[in-house]
Amino acid sequence: MNYLICVLQQMLKETRTFTQIMFESYTYLYCFITLSLLPSGFTMLRAFSHTNGRCVFHYTKCWHHRKSVLAIRREDVNAWERRAPLAPKHVKELTKMGYKVLVQPSNRRAIHEKEYVKAGAIIQEDISEASLIIGVKRPPEDKLIPKKNYAFFSHTIKAQEANMPLLDEILRQEIRLFDYEKMVDHKGMRVVAFGKWAGVAGMINILHGLGLRFLALGHHTPFMHIGMAHNYRNSSQAVQAVRDAGYEISLGLMPKSVGPLTFVFTGTGNVSKGAQEMFSALPCEFVEPHELKEVSRSGDLRKVYGTVLSRHHHLVRKRDGQYDPVDYDKHPENYISRFHIDIAPYTTCLINGIYWEQNSPRLLSRQDTQKLLVPVKSAAGAMDGCPELPHRLLAICDISADTGGSIEFMTECTTIDNPFCMYDADQHITHDSVEGSGILMCSIDNLPAQLPIEATEYFGDMLFPYIEEMLLSEGSEPLEKQNYSPVVRNAVIASNGTLTPKYQYIQKLRESREQAESLKMSVEKRVLLLGSGYVSGPVLEYLTRDSNIDITIVSVMKEQLEQLTKKYRNVTPVHMDVLKHEEKLSSLVKKHDLVISLLPYSAHPFVAKKCIDNKVNLVTASYLTPAMKELQESVEAAGITVISEMGLDPGLDHMLAMECIDKAKEVGATVISYTSFCGGLPAPEHSDNPLRYKFSWSPQGVLLNTVQSATYLKDGEIINIPPGGALLDSVTPMDFFPGLNLEGFPNRDSTKYAEPYGIQTARTLLRGTLRYKGYSRAMGGFVKLGLINPDPYPLLSSTAPPLTWKELMCKLVGIKSPAEHHVLKEAVFSKLEKDKSQLEAVEWLGLLGDELVPAADSIVGALAKHMEMKLPFGTGERDMIVMRSEIGLRHPSGHLEDKFIDLVVYGDNKGHSAMAKTVGYPTAIAAKMVLDGEITAKGMVIPLTKNVYGPILERVRAEGIMYSTRSIIKQ
Catalytic residues: 649
What is the rounded CA–CA span in Å between residue 529 and residue 555? 9
Sign of CA dihedral 563, 564, 569, 573: negative
> What backbone torsions phi and psi does residue 746 show, to the nearest 5 degrees?
-60, 155
In this structure, how many other beta carbons lie within 10 angstroms of the beta carbon of residue 721? 18
Beta bridge partners of 71: 102, 133
Helix (H) or strand (E) run with residue 211 in it = helix 195-216
Say if CB 158 and CB 179 are below 8 A apart.
no
Task: Using alpha carbons, list the distances in angstroms from residue 569 to 419, 520, 548, 550.
Answer: 35, 18, 11, 9
CA 233, 410, 351, 328 dihedral sign is negative
With H, G, I as helix, E, B as strand and everything else as coil, classify residue 274.
helix
Q: Which of 916, 936, 948, 903 is nearest to 539 (CA)?
A: 916
Query: What are residue 235's phi and psi, to 5 degrees?
Result: -70, -25
CB 249 within 8 A of CB 282: yes
How far, in Å, CA of 900 to CA of 879, rounded? 23
> What contacts 717, CB < 8 A, 6 or more positions away?
none
**Under 8 Å CB-to-CB from 580, ≥6 apart: which residues?**
none
CA 313 to chain CA centroid, nearest Å: 31
Cβ contacts of residue 265 below 8 Å, gap of 6+?
A: 272, 275, 276, 279, 306, 307, 308, 309, 351, 353
SS (H, E, C) 231-261: HCCCHHHHHHHHHHHHHHHHCCCCCHHHCCC
Contact 352, 443 (CB under 8 A): no
Helix 2-13 vs helix 88-96: crossing angle, to nearest 10:
140
Instruction: Look at phi and psi of residue 112 and say left if phi exceeds 0, alpha if psi is from -120 to 50, else beta.
Output: beta
Dist CA 69 CA 551 (whole Å): 57
Diameter over CA atoms, the chain: 126
In 471-545, which ranges are E strands? 492-495, 498-499, 525-530
- Nearest to residue 782, comparing CAs of 720, 724, 854, 853? 724
Indicate the residue type of 922: P
d(CA 736, CA 730): 18
- At residue 3, what is the residue type? Y
Query: Which amino acid is located at 604 in the chain?
Result: H
Which residues, 6 or more positions from 878, have their beta carbon under 8 angstroms from its beta carbon? 682, 683, 686, 906, 907, 908, 909, 913, 914
Of 137, 298, 270, whose CA–CA distance to 200 is shortest? 270
What backbone phi and psi angles, to 5 degrees, belong to 575? Answer: -90, 105
Q: Which residues of 177-193 are buried (b: 16+ CB within 10 A; e: fewer)?
A: bbbbbbbbeeeeeebbb
Cβ contact 307:296 at 8 Å: no
For residue 624, the tally of other CB atoms under 10 A from its CB is: 21
DSSP state, residue 866: H
Q: Are 861 and 789 in contact (CB under 8 A)?
A: no
What are the CA-CA distances from residue 511 to residues 164, 264, 579, 930 (Å)?
11, 38, 43, 29
